[in-house]
Amino acid sequence: MFGLMGKILRVNLAERKISEEEIPEEIAKKFLGGRGIAGKYLFDEVKPGIDPLGPENKLIFMSGLLTGTPSPSAARYSVVAKSPLTNIWAQSNSGGRWGVDLKHSGFDGIIFEGISKKPTCLVIDDGKAELRDAVDFWGKSVSETTMMLKKTLGEKFNVAGIGIAGENLVKYAAIMNDLHRTAGRCGLGAVMGSKKLKAIAVKGTKEIRIADKKAFQEVSQKQYELLGESIFGAGLQGYGTTLVLDIVNVCGGLPTRNWQTGVCSFAEEINGEALNEKVLVREVGCYACSIKCGRDTEINKGPYRGQKGEGPEYETVAIFGAMCDNSDLESITMANYLCNNYGLDTISCGSTIAFTMECFERGILTKEDAGGLEISFGDSEMIIELVHKIAKREGVGDLLAEGTRIMAQRLGQDSERFAMHVKGLELPAYDSRAAKITGLAFATANRGGDHITGYVQGPTFLASPFLVIEDSEIEDPLKENPEETKVVKDLEDALTVFDAVGSCKFMGMASDAQEICEIIAAVTGRQFGVEEFRKIGERTYNLERVFNIREGLTRADDTLPKRLLEDPLPEGPAKGHVNNLEVFLDHYYEFRGWDKTTGKPTPEKLRELGLEEVIGQIYGGEK
């Protein structure tokens, strides 16, 4: 194969058996790689209704078609499984270099099945794989585990693994690689922990075959040049992702005090400029990245002085900052370091803490319930203490480790109203009342409340062209225009392909679909046009939707928290606005080819996408 290595590892942890398999060419052609191929294996091999933390769940790592090539920002890998946080389809994605090293080791991906009897790690060295005992690593942090493995195996090995949050089955535990990079969403670190799999160390020197090297070099160089000319790309290089914090705040869409308002009065104390002044050491980037939106940082004052790491990114700053009503950038940075070392998703962790603060403010959660803790908005020291307790499932942290949906179910007292999640996945830091179409993207994302599935914030909050697609534009973010639902559908499909090829989605700021197709064609050596680009994204997205339908999801689950649907924003440019999803949903389903009553992809749509074999799984015996 060109682009792909053509092989995956299958690791049975219960039996401690490893085997190699070839990826069928038909699957590679229909799903490309990464999220696409991984999702196909997950759909075929995981039965509906299984326990996400049980032996029947499978944890699948898969690099992208372009991952490891000189294509701009082609560094990413995907992980899929059934989520312990949402109980539906889960996918997480990470950059850095680990996915590149996995591919250079000779394999596109790894399928883990079963549960090991004792802590273990997988070591892959240039095509040779073995399971090793990891008892000595259990209970260690991400950084400790990484350093210990590198000392044992050699510095050239790259490590992806979990911290104690994954071991303790925190429902939003993350998988960490390259120390600071995160496959963060959906709790896949808990799945890894449930399998007693502590880490995967990889090293390799194998070459990735490219069909037309000259054409590939030409189109890649063009992409680098376009990215270098992008104003937004330059902004990301200068300020990292925190560049967008001021923009979102000006729009009145920066969630503050657990989404009670969309305007943060202290934004200038935690924005990109403040981060540069207070904690920035240097810019860092993933493999083959010219933007370098990552930040190496060090805390220079206060109780956490001397602590070093990478980040925080926009989501972390907004959630541990504005959402928790916390203006202390040093504590936000420290919370980020802790989440990375414990292996926690900062979005879900910070959101759960903000939800807890409001529950305490309203008397729903008492001091007695919290084990004597006083939990209030703006308490930076308490944020740090709660991160520790969540990772260790200690005291009230055991409740917070379940996420906001389970917390609200247990606490009751109408707390579900302001539990800010969709389908169990905590929402990112963009208030959709200030950009209406964003609410539809949150509601329909296959993995739950998520901003990067469709990244509709690009053309709304940021007023930035993002993966220019014909007939897809938004005129007024505060108006609910049903025809604009096509934007969400188009971006969901297109960015699904980005996850399949392993490219950073920020490449969409400088690319259109045709240019991505030219890169894919040069790598694979086959004709690849925009129509196929769209079809592969749509096919993958629909297969994931069918996975969720099998798990019992319906149209009723494509919704938002009541706060967004019923509570008008109290101030800012979007004052008085709420979300009205019903204006959008019928049109979205129509564009998708889904049944408007049930939310199921119609048999006709599934046949059109070459998914005839799944029709019977959601329509009984119908073919």
Q: Which residue has the higher pLDDT, 231 or 112?
A: 112
Q: Residue 466: pLDDT band by 50, 70, 90 thresholds? A: low
Half-sphere exposure of 104 (CA within 13 A, CB side): 18
How large a percentage of the chain has pLDDT more than 70? 98
Which of these ranges, 76-90, 94-108, 445-459, 589-603, has the smallest mean pLDDT? 445-459
Closest CA to 20 of 83, 111, 99, 114: 111
What pLDDT is attached to residue 475? Answer: 86
Question: pLDDT tens across 533-544, in order?
Answer: 999 999 999 999
Closest CA to 178 of 196, 201, 207: 201
In which order are the strands placed within the sheet that holds 128-133?
128-133, 120-125, 197-203, 158-161, 175-177, 181-183
Q: Residue 621: pLDDT band by 50, 70, 90 thresholds? A: low
Question: pLDDT tens across 471-497, in order?
Answer: 557 889 999 999 999 999 999 999 999
Average pLDDT for residues 523-542, to the nearest whole number?
Answer: 96
Q: How many CB atoms lie within 10 A of CB 321?
A: 31
Q: Does 31 have pLDDT greater than 80?
A: yes
Q: Which residues pair with 121 in a beta bridge?
A: 132, 199
Which of these ranges, 261-275, 470-484, 541-555, has the smallest mean pLDDT? 470-484
Q: Does 460 have pLDDT greater than 90?
A: no
Question: pLDDT tens across 192-236, in order?
Answer: 999 999 999 999 999 999 999 999 999 999 888 877 777 777 888
What pLDDT is attached to residue 464? Answer: 64
The distance from CA 355 to its chain's CA centroid, rounded to whole angstroms, is 21
What pLDDT is attached to residue 208? Answer: 97
What pLDDT is attached to residue 513? Answer: 84
Q: Residue 271: pLDDT band by 50, 70, 90 thresholds? A: very high
What pLDDT is attached to residue 470? Answer: 56
Domains of the chain: 7-203 (3.60.9.10), 231-426 (1.10.569.10), 436-444+456-509+529-619 (1.10.599.10)
Q: Does 465 have pLDDT greater than 70?
A: no
Q: Does 360 have pLDDT greater than 90?
A: yes
Mean pLDDT for all residues in the chain = 95
Question: pLDDT tens across 293-320, in order?
Answer: 999 999 999 999 999 999 999 999 999 9
Q: Does 508 have pLDDT greater than 90?
A: no
What pLDDT is attached to residue 113? Answer: 98
Residues 494, 500: Cα–Cα separation, whole Å: 10
Residues 100, 203: Cα–Cα separation, whole Å: 10
DSSP class of residue 311? -
Q: Report the largest interatomic distance among the alpha carbons of the chain, rounded to a whole angstrom.
A: 68
What pLDDT is attached to residue 19? Answer: 98
What pLDDT is attached to residue 228? Answer: 73
Q: Residue 66: pLDDT band by 50, 70, 90 thresholds? A: very high
Give 110-129 as a DSSP string: EEEES--SS-EEEEEETTEE
Average pLDDT for residues 268-282, to the nearest whole number?
Answer: 97
What pLDDT is attached to residue 319? Answer: 98
The distance from CA 72 to its chain's CA centroid, rounded to whole angstroms, is 20
What pLDDT is attached to residue 144? Answer: 98
What pLDDT is attached to residue 512? Answer: 79
What pLDDT is attached to residue 232? Answer: 73
Average pLDDT for residues 411-426, to the nearest whole number?
Answer: 98
What pLDDT is attached to residue 623? Answer: 44
Q: How far, in Å, are 99, 210, 245, 407, 416 from residue 565 at the CA level?
A: 39, 49, 24, 21, 13
